[in-house]
Amino acid sequence: MGLRMTFANGFAVGMLFCSATGMVVRLAFPYFLAHERLIPLVLLLASAMGGSCIALVLRLLTRRALPLTAAAFGTVSGIVLALMLLPDSELAAPASASASPPSSLVFLGLIALSCGVVCGYGASLLQRVVRRPWVWLAGASFPLLLLAAMPVSIAHAAEDSGRPPLFLYGLDAGTWTVLNDLFSKDDLPSLRRLRDEGSSGVLQSEQVSLSPRLWTTIATGKQPEKHGILDFWSTQDEHLRSARLWDILAAHGYSVGLFQWLVTWPPDPHDPFVIPGWMARGPETHPSELSFVKELEQAFQTGALDALKN
């Protein structure tokens, strides 16, 4: 087998396994790299070129470069699969130096070894049956690529029968130094009850304490450099790059109602309602019948409430 054929086989192996891994990851974690376009392409090319390099190196040592390359990629894919199947508690459990290997490591090793053996044997059979294995390997990659690249569906929410309700309430600039003083004066009894009967603590914030940045960080769990909302001029349709809590819930069938959360304009079609926060640049809501709420708010902000009444 010539070097060009070896290069093509390794390239196709890397592309196939990257596509298969990407498909599995996308099915398990729909929002992982959902807003990225360049990174998945770079990973695909890196995997394909890595397969070619491995195959060429192995070709210098043995004529079984294709099966060994497939076995190497199969082992790595098996490790990724095992890590996805293992619960977090198993991965985080420490093991003493004198103890036997934890069951999680044994499971990971068995999955990785099995995947490596199966992939290597399958590639060996393919090499015996067909003259150009890379054509078949590349052909198998394309449907997997299509599945891995499928868009994240944010469908309208279905009925929520049996789903536990979740309520998230944000109070801008509601620091404990202010709230505790009000609590001591018997003000805000409902908030004080939440503190006394629930859990509370002091959260670490950013030095750049701009409300749109912080509120979006709370909603996404990511830093501003990741989610894209940096200042008061940011909008979700132009700058947001990360899914927020309610986007994920809506994708899993929960109904979502948003009222006055920052950086939610223009409104997404979440049901039953979305009324954007005070940074909205227009009165649009979902459904549109609720736009009078924003019209009243914006009239109050501009001092035109009396004119609106007339």
| Residue 276 pLDDT grade (very low, low, confident, very high; cuts 50, 70, 90) | very high
**Tens digit of each residue's pLDDT (9 = 90 or more) over 210-225:** 999 999 999 999 999 9
The C-alpha atoms of residue 128 and residue 63 are separated, in whole angstroms, by 12
pLDDT at 32: 64
**Tens digit of each residue's pLDDT (9 = 90 or more) over 47-74:** 889 888 998 898 888 888 889 999 999 8
CB 260 within 8 A of CB 272: no
**Tens digit of each residue's pLDDT (9 = 90 or more) over 165-204:** 888 888 888 889 999 999 999 999 999 998 899 888 888 7
The C-alpha atoms of residue 1 and residue 63 are separated, in whole angstroms, by 8
Q: In Å, what is the CA distance from 193 to each residue of 183, 184, 198, 237, 266? A: 10, 12, 8, 37, 35
Q: By C-alpha distance, which of 221, 218, 106 is closest to 170? A: 218
pLDDT(95) > 80: no
Identify residue 254 by its one-letter amino acid code.
Y
pLDDT at 211: 92
**Tens digit of each residue's pLDDT (9 = 90 or more) over 216-252:** 999 999 999 999 999 999 999 999 999 999 998 888 8
pLDDT at 273: 93
| Residue 266 pLDDT grade (very low, low, confident, very high; cuts 50, 70, 90) | very high
pLDDT at 259: 95
pLDDT at 160: 44
pLDDT at 274: 94
Residue of 161 and 241 predicted with greater confidence = 241
Report the range of poorest mean pLDDT among 37-46, 202-211, 298-307. Answer: 298-307
pTM for the model: 0.49
pLDDT at 188: 92
| Residue 92 pLDDT grade (very low, low, confident, very high; cuts 50, 70, 90) | very low
The chain-wide mean pLDDT, for the chain, equals 82
Two structure tokens written together for 221: 């769990």
* Geometric angle at alpha carbon 238, from 232 and 243, rounded to 5°: 90
DSSP of 64-133, one letter per residue?
-HHHHHHHHHHHHHHHHHHHHHS-HHHHH----TTSPPPHHHHHHHHHHHHHHHHHHHHHHHHHHH-S-H
pLDDT at 305: 64
Q: Per DSSP, what are the bridge partners of residue 257?
A: 273
Domain ranges of the chain: 3-148, 176-309
